[in-house]
């Protein structure tokens, strides 16, 4: 008998343009990522991690810059800073990314309108600049995703409609 069947870990939802950090046994969830990118950062030693649901690649593209969690170039450094304040050592933090779909047919051939691919590219560039190792990804395509980040293991369950479920 699995005790988690009767006492499942608490889930904390991370909405669009939002970020949260927590420690095991919490499960961080984000539902309905389309062109948005979900990024998780994980520090296995103390089972702490964070999840950001990023909408746009760069804060400099818009006038309203009040929500730093909305943009890849501000959300990722902020998420990293929160984990480091909780005791995480940057050199041992690992990243996984999900989402970045091209949800509108006309955007496939025009990179300007394909926010998904621009989000993916920006997230990867920022991780490289911050020297955070990207260990897994489930990105692209033309379908949405929901994700469940298990801080007890570092695994992310990615659910889709008509495209199955994966653990990364």
Q: Residues with catalytic annotation?
A: 36
Nearest to 153 by CA among 25, 19, 41, 53: 25
Using the 8-state DSSP alphabet, how is residue 6 labeled? T
37 close to 119: Cβ distance less than 8 angstroms = yes
CB atoms within 10 A of CB 4: 10
Are β-strands 27-33 and 11-13 bridged in parallel, bridged antiparallel, or unpaired?
Answer: parallel
Q: Is the dihedral of CA 7, 51, 68, 56 positive or negative?
A: negative
Between the CA of residue 133 and those of 40, 90, 123, 126, what are the distances in Å? 11, 10, 12, 11
The angle formed by the CA atoms of residues 145, 114 and 164, to the nearest 5 degrees, is: 20
């Amino acid at each position: 008998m699995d005790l988690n069947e009767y006492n499942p870990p608490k889930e904390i939802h991370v909405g669009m343009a939002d970020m949260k950090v927590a420690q095991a046994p919490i499960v961080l969830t984000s539902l309905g990522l389309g062109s948005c990118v979900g990024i998780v950062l994980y520090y296995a030693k103390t089972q702490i991690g964070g999840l950001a649901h990023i909408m746009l690649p760069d804060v400099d593209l818009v006038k309203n810059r009040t929500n730093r969690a909305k943009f890849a170039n501000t959300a990722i450094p902020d998420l990293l800073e929160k984990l480091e304040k909780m005791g995480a050592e940057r050199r041992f933090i690992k990243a996984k990314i999900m989402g970045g779909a091209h949800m509108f047919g006309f955007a496939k051939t025009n990179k300007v309108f394909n926010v998904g691919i621009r989000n993916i590219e920006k997230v990867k560039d920022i991780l490289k600049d911050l020297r955070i190792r990207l260990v897994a990804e489930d990105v692209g395509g033309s379908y949405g995703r929901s994700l469940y980040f298990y801080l007890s293991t570092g695994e992310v369950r990615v659910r889709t409609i008509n495209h199955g479920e994966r653990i990364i």
